[in-house]
Chain A
C-alpha cells in the first residue's frame, strides 16, 4: 500500500515538474503506438469489412486464423521480428533493428488481428442489417464496403481503441526489437520494466500511473471527437 502511495506521489511530481525525460518517453510511446495504430487500422478495418461482405473459399479459415492470431504471445512476435530485422536476417540490410520503426512493425503485427477480428464482428452485424437494402440498390462491392465502414465507424473506433490499449501497454516485443535504448527506443512500458529491475518501485509505479493516465486521456479524446454516445437511440 505504501508503495502504491509512493508511486502516486512520484507520478504527481513527474507530471507537475514537467520532467523532461518523462515527456520524451511519453511522447515516444504515443508516437510509436499511434503510428502502429494508424497502419494496423488501415489494414485491419478494410480486411474485417471485406470478410463480412464477401463469401469465398477459405473465408472461415481466414477468420479463424485472425481470431487465433489475437492470442499470439508478443514475445514470440518480437523474437520473429528480431530475427527478420537482425543483420543476418532477410531485412537486415534495412538497419531497422533497435529503432522506433522496428517497434512499430512489431506492434502492427500484434494489433492488426485484434482490430480485424473486432471490426469483422461489428461489420458482420451491420451487414446483416443492411444486406437486403444494399443488394436491392444494386450497389457494387466497393460501395458496400465504404457504406459499412462509414455507418459502422463508431464500432470500428471501439476496435481501434482495443488495438490502442493492446499496443500502448505492450512490453515484451518492443523490448526485444527496440532494445530499450535511452533517448532512442525507451518507452513507458520498457522504462517501467527497467525501473522495476533496478528496484525503484516508486518510479516504476509513477510511470505506470502516467501510462494509465495517457491511455484514459487518449480514449476520452477519441470518444469526444467522434461524438460517441451522443446519437444513441435511447
Chain B
C-alpha cells in the first residue's frame, strides 16, 4: 500500500492570486516524525502553506514533492470545523465508507473513536447540534479514523476554551505517539511549546525562520520572531 512518505520538499513554491503573491517563494523540507508548528501573525500565509502541502491549493510555480505520496494518507482539519449534515456516528463513518470498508470494520472503528472523543452518548445526534469544541473533536476524529500518515491542522483550537483545547491536544499527542505526523498552524504560543518538535515561522508569505522547537524558543535568531514570541505585534 502506498503511503505519504516523508521527506516532504517544497522548492521555490509560489502562490499568486489575482496578481498578488500570497506566499513564496518558499523552500521547506519536513522530516518523517513529530509535530511541526507553523507560527506567524494573521495573513502571514500559514493556512495557504498547509493547503499547498496537503495538495488542495494550486501553486503558481515551484514544486511540492513527497518521497512517496498517496493523498488518501493525508488528512486536514480546518479552522472552522466542517461537519456533514448527518449524525455524529455517520460523520465518523463517512471517510471509511468512501474507502468501501466492510460495515463491521466501519462500525467498530466508529464506536472506538466515539469513546476516544467522549461523544458516545451523542452518536445519533445531528452533528450540526454539537458545540464548537465537540465539532472540532469530531472533525479531528474523522480525520484520524483513516489512520493517516500525516495530519494537517489549521488552528484547530482557535476560539475554543481551555478545557476543549486540552482535550484536543491529548488526542493530537496520542496520534503523534501512534506515528501520525502533525503539521499544524497556530498562533497559540503555549500550544506550540506543548506540542511542537519543529517550528516554522512565517511572515508576509515567506518562511522567516525554521528549526527545532527547543532551540527556537530558547534562542530565536531574528528580531521579528523574538518579538512574536514575546507577544509583541509583528507586521
A: which residues have CB within 8 A of B? 126, 129-130, 132-133, 135-139, 143, 147, 151-152, 231, 233
Contacts and interface: CB of A to CB of B under 8 A. Distances in A.
Given A133-B78, A233-B128, A151 B71 contact: no
- Scoring A129, A137, A231 by chain B CB atoms within 10 A of each residue's CB, the highest score goes to A137
B129 A132 contact: no
A49 B14 CA distance: 33
A119 to B, nearest CB: 16
A231 to B, nearest CB: 5
B98 interface: yes
B54 interface: yes
Chain B residues touching A, range: 10 to 19
Contact of A133 (B54, B82, B128): B82
Interface of A is mostly: helix
B98 A137 contact: yes
A34 B129 CA distance: 35
A217 B10 CA distance: 61
Nearest to B70: A138
Contacts of B86: 151
A59 B33 CA distance: 45
The 8 A-B residue pairs whose C-beta atoms are closest, nearest first, are A136-B76, A133-B82, A151-B85, A138-B71, A135-B56, A231-B126, A233-B128, A138-B72
Interface string B82-104: 10111000000011001000000
B233 to A, nearest CB: 30
A130 B98 CA distance: 15
Contacts of B76: 132, 136
